[in-house]
Amino acid sequence: MPPPSGSPAPERRLAVLLSHFRPCCEAPRATTRLASVERHGTAAEAEAGLAASPCAAAGSGEGESSGGGYCVFCNIAAGAAPAFKLYEDDVCLCILDAKPLTTGHSLIIPKSHYPSLQTTPPTVLAAICSKLPLLGAAIMKATQCDAFNVLINNGEKAGQVIFHTHVHIIPRSKDDNLWSSETYSRSPISHDQETKNLVSSIKEVLSSSPEDYSAATSSTPKGF
């Protein structure tokens, strides 16, 4: 499979991949060189020549407003910004990423504006993620590959730049050169008091949030 036109040189792909995991809070020099997978907004904005405008979801009664700031995904959903659209239904869109890591790199985006996974209704996430087999299989077939990564960057420190929930589908092939260094062994989790405390802490938070269960799905949580 040939690389997409305009794709980065192979030796840069590792660095590009790392941009998924780069925080926003960094030194100015590094910031000016950063162009992560999240920079769809900048690219689309430049392509469309759009000025800042209120979020398309504002006042619609669905989702949240982006606070009056420009949200490229809201604009794409509203048809006010360009994108290569692959799929659309009542809940979501699937488009090509404006700066693809590999050929076919795509994004699934809810039509309504939710800035984080925590603020995205479980039913919306369910609808989006239920499309992964369909969309992933179609993208793999069209790009003649047999593997892909699904990635969500949630929060600045996880590399999120556009604060409108979105799911990356990144097709993979043997020769895509998304890495270049050797890997090392890492240690198994310790079976010590620290780990037990962590488990207890997470369970305690979960048990204090019973109202979330009913909204999630019809599956019934077990005692834990």
Residues within window 58-97 making contact with a second copy, judged by CB under 8 A: 84-92, 96-97
Burial annotation 177-194 (CB, 10 A radius, 16+ → b, else e): bbeeeeeeeeeeeeeeee
3-state secondary structure 67-83: CCCCCHHHHHHCCCCCC
Question: Which residues, at least 6 apart from 146, have a Cβ–Cβ distance to it below 8 Å?
Answer: 140
Which of 66, 99, 115, 164 lies at the binding interface for a second copy (CB under 8 A)?
99
Window 156 to 185, contacts with a second copy (CB under 8 A): 156-160, 170, 172-174, 176, 178-179, 181-185
122 binds a second copy (CB under 8 A): yes
Active-site annotation, residues: 166
Which of 75, 139, 162, 164 lies at the binding interface for a second copy (CB under 8 A)?
139
Rounded to whole angstroms, the Cα distance separating 143 from 138 reads 9
Question: In the bound complex, what is the minimum distance in angstroms from residue 66's beta carbon to a second copy?
Answer: 19
Cβ distance to a second copy smaller for residue 66 or 159: 159
Window 15 to 44, contacts with a second copy (CB under 8 A): 15-23, 25, 30, 33-36, 43
Rounded to whole angstroms, the Cα distance separating 224 from 219 reads 15
CB atoms within 10 A of CB 68: 11
**Which region among 53-61, 63-71, 73-81, 126-134 touches a second copy (by CB under 8 A)?**
126-134
- Provide the 3-class DSSP secondary structure of residue 201: helix
Cβ distance to a second copy smaller for residue 59 or 185: 185
